[in-house]
Chains A and B, each alone.
Chain A
Amino acid sequence: MARIVDDDQRMFMTGNEVLAWAALAAGAEIMYGYPITPQNEIMHYWTRLAPRFERGFLQTEDELSAGFTTLGGVMAGKRAFSATSGPGDILMQEPICMAEMMRIPAVWIIQQRGAPSTATVIYGQQETRLACFGGNGEGHRVVYSTSSHQELFDYLIKAFNTAWSYRFPTILLGDGYQGKMREAVTLYNPEDHGVKLVPTEPFVGRPGVPGVDRAPAHYRNTFNIEEEIYEIVHAREEEFEALTPQIVEFESGYLDEAEMILIGHGIVSRAIKEAVKLLQNKGVKVGYFRPVTLRPFPVEELRKAVEKVPAVMVFESALGQLLSMVKEAVGGLPVKIEAFLRPGVGICTDEAAEQVQEYLRKSSMVH
């Protein structure tokens, strides 16, 4: 693969631009896409850069097509990806389900916007559940929820490697703020940082005549017997669970002696981390926990973090999507679960800190 920069290069750019560069760095060979805000600029930058680096692009007639052409590209053995948002994300779920069932290592970037449905084109975290469990299936996919431009770059490279290592479709879950705002980032060639690109291989079209030189490749996504599907889904689940320790990622801080742990993912986790520092400076004992992978969810890690804590507070720009995952994960533990839910709007550091202080004040009055 061609080097994308001579040396590590410090840049100040929008998240969508970062992602186009990250896809180049990750060795992505072709993008399939359909316009939708707030991911458009990934395509805009990609179409400008791709010819320079001999990469491909196809604008399809919609997201169903963008998703399925991506699967075709991957089955041809290419590092292929697509990007979408909101209503496009809904249409993308059919191809993502096929990828789940057939273990097709396709990569999707999802820049969340306000929901439900068409809603706003700005920002939201209301595609959290869709990204994790969209479609008719069990959510056998990897979902990385990023929070900074550097992570957009790092995790898109990682997403391709995860997909091709484990053969589960992989999603990088961002949002409109991450896509549209500018911040500093270091672009680099993966090999300069010891990151090897996992090789790809074709599903079909290998050398030789099928049935003569080699067995024909027969891929299917249809099953006739109930027991058969029962077996397959269980086998998938077992594999997914077995791989979980290798894939799962989280971030936490100030957990010791915390009276409360703040939980958030994606860009909201930045606000809560800052809020925790703010409160710590005031002598308030609080910590934070941020799942980086939403699928698989860091269940064990979260349980361990909240074991000895009286309460947690979940922050999200949605009406309880992360909250329900947290509830499920910590089920049975004697921890009180509070939430600050802001569907479709951002959460600021001050607000988060205020919510926590308010809660702690009230609960100390009760004691």
Chain B
Amino acid sequence: MENKTSGSATSESKTGFTTRTVVTPNEAMPKVWRRETKPHRFCPGCGHPIILKALAQAVEELDIQGRTVFGCDIGCSLLAWDFFNLDSIQTHHGRTTPVIAGLKRARPDLIGVAYMGDGGGYAIGSQHLLNAAMRNDRVTVILCNNTVYAMTGGQMAPTTLPTQKTETTPYGRDPAMTGEPTLGPELMAAIGRKGAYAARGTVANYRQLVKFTKKALENQLADRGFSFLEVLSTCPTNWRTTPRQTWDFVEDDMTRVYKVGEFLKPEDEK
């Protein structure tokens, strides 16, 4: 593990040949990642660790490692319960938002991050999400949209695309029967109060994802309002896709329904 090459920097040697400086995984990792728990437990090609890497980078750049508490849900997000060098709480399915909101009420000096899946956030935990937004709770919710209930084996999620086949829509999702996909950031922008932040990023645009994550944390740091970030993610295991198909699905199919961008900024008039 220590000697495995995971990334490299190139430099010119005296002889004119290009030599490679080996960067170990440890060096490439954000410091907020807990090395002892790597390699992580997500499937190859999963989007979750990209979202978590962006979070780690944002926490590092904002220098809030000492005061950030990470909450994760039941769903594949639970695989991150010991992922970071951050105090972490893995809670129940859908209940991460209220646990972190309660924590924040009791310790406003802490920065509370609630991390969950689309099932956890938009289905079973939807009332918590709505009410935290309407109370303008000073927490940061990051929600992974992978269009399925991944951990339970790929059932329909509120975000499943029309015609998409899942274990509970074996003949394809029919919006006439099951409704249209949930548009979370748009919803949060509609009900959000002044000072709130709502955006949708994607694992296909990492730099933008870090930027949005930082803004969602900075908003809490500035005590302005509720912050919500949905991230378009991948689940090759349940989608049963090859790497190329996976990428096409998140970049093309998903972005046709889910627009990437910022929907509500703290400075917006409400």
Question: Which chain A residues have a beta carbon within 8 Å of chain B's beta carbons?
Answer: 34-37, 40, 43-44, 47-48, 51, 57, 59, 61-63, 87, 117-118
B92 touches A118 (CB 8 A): yes
Known: A61-B124, A118-B74. A44 touches B167 (CB 8 A): yes
- Tell me which of B74, B92, B155, B170 contacts A59 (CB under 8 A): B155
B17 at interface, CB cutoff 8 A: no
Known: A47-B169, A47-B170, A59-B178. A40 touches B94 (CB 8 A): no
B124 touches A62 (CB 8 A): yes
A37 vs B153: C-alpha distance when bound (angstroms): 9
Q: Which 7 A-B pairs have the closest CB atoms?
A: A62-B124, A61-B123, A35-B152, A35-B155, A44-B167, A35-B149, A47-B168
Q: For window 105-164 of chain B, which residues contact chain A by CB distance below 8 Å?
A: 119, 123-124, 126, 149, 152-153, 155-156, 158
Q: Which of B74, B124, B126, B167 has the most CB of A within 10 A?
A: B124
- Tell me which of A43, A48, A51, A62 contacts B155 (CB under 8 A): A43
Taking CB atoms, residues of chain A closer than 8 Å to B155 are 35, 40, 43-44, 59
B171 touches A59 (CB 8 A): no
Taking CB atoms, residues of chain B closer than 8 Å to A87 are 74, 92-93
The smallest C-beta distance from A44 to any residue of chain B, in angstroms, reads 5
Chain A residue at smallest Cβ distance from B148:
A35
Taking CB atoms, residues of chain A closer than 8 Å to B158 are 61
B94 touches A62 (CB 8 A): yes
B168 touches A35 (CB 8 A): yes
Q: Which of B92, B93, B156, B169 has the most CB of A within 10 A?
A: B93
Known: A87-B93, A118-B92. A34 touches B156 (CB 8 A): no
Taking CB atoms, residues of chain A closer than 8 Å to B178 are 59
Taking CB atoms, residues of chain B closer than 8 Å to A36 are 152
Known: A61-B124, A62-B94, A117-B92. A44 touches B168 (CB 8 A): yes
Tell me whether chain A's interface is mostly helix, strand or loop, or mixed.
mixed
Question: Which chain B residues have a beta carbon within 8 Å of chain A's beta carbons?
Answer: 74, 92-94, 119, 123-124, 126, 149, 152-153, 155-156, 158, 167-171, 178
The smallest C-beta distance from A84 to any residue of chain B, in angstroms, reads 12
The smallest C-beta distance from B62 to any residue of chain A, in angstroms, reads 32
Taking CB atoms, residues of chain B closer than 8 Å to A35 are 119, 149, 152-153, 155, 167-168
A11 vs B74: C-alpha distance when bound (angstroms): 35
Q: How many A-B pairs fall under 8 Å by CB?
A: 49
Taking CB atoms, residues of chain A closer than 8 Å to B123 are 34, 61-62
- Can you list 21 contacts pairing A with B, beta carbon distance less than 8 Å? A35-B152, A35-B153, A35-B155, A35-B167, A40-B155, A40-B167, A43-B167, A43-B168, A47-B167, A47-B168, A47-B169, A47-B170, A48-B170, A57-B168, A61-B124, A62-B124, A63-B124, A87-B92, A87-B93, A117-B92, A118-B74
A147 vs B168: C-alpha distance when bound (angstroms): 27
Taking CB atoms, residues of chain A closer than 8 Å to B94 are 62
The smallest C-beta distance from B93 to any residue of chain A, in angstroms, reads 7
A47 vs B156: C-alpha distance when bound (angstroms): 11
The smallest C-beta distance from A327 to any residue of chain B, in angstroms, reads 32
A34 vs B167: C-alpha distance when bound (angstroms): 12
A40 touches B93 (CB 8 A): no
The smallest C-beta distance from B145 to any residue of chain A, in angstroms, reads 16
Chain B residue at smallest Cβ distance from A44:
B167
A37 vs B74: C-alpha distance when bound (angstroms): 12
Q: Which of B74, B167, B178 has the most CB of A within 10 A?
A: B167
Taking CB atoms, residues of chain B closer than 8 Å to A62 are 94, 123-124
The smallest C-beta distance from A207 to any residue of chain B, in angstroms, reads 28
A40 touches B152 (CB 8 A): yes
Task: Give 16 A-B pairs besides A40-B153, A61-B126, A63-B124 with Cβ atoms closer than 8 angstroms.
Answer: A35-B153, A40-B152, A40-B167, A43-B167, A43-B168, A44-B155, A47-B167, A59-B178, A61-B124, A62-B94, A87-B74, A87-B92, A87-B93, A117-B92, A118-B92, A118-B93
A61 vs B156: C-alpha distance when bound (angstroms): 11
The smallest C-beta distance from B261 to any residue of chain A, in angstroms, reads 26
A59 touches B156 (CB 8 A): yes
Taking CB atoms, residues of chain B closer than 8 Å to A63 are 124
A307 vs B153: C-alpha distance when bound (angstroms): 49
A47 vs B172: C-alpha distance when bound (angstroms): 11
Chain B residue at smallest Cβ distance from A38:
B152
Chain A residue at smallest Cβ distance from B123:
A61
Taking CB atoms, residues of chain B closer than 8 Å to A61 are 123-124, 126, 158
A59 vs B158: C-alpha distance when bound (angstroms): 10
- Tell me which of A34, A37, A51 contacts B171 (CB under 8 A): A51
A215 vs B178: C-alpha distance when bound (angstroms): 35
The smallest C-beta distance from B224 to any residue of chain A, in angstroms, reads 30
Chain A residue at smallest Cβ distance from B95:
A87
A243 vs B153: C-alpha distance when bound (angstroms): 41
Taking CB atoms, residues of chain A closer than 8 Å to B74 are 87, 118
Taking CB atoms, residues of chain A closer than 8 Å to B169 are 47
The smallest C-beta distance from B122 to any residue of chain A, in angstroms, reads 8
Chain A residue at smallest Cβ distance from B94:
A62
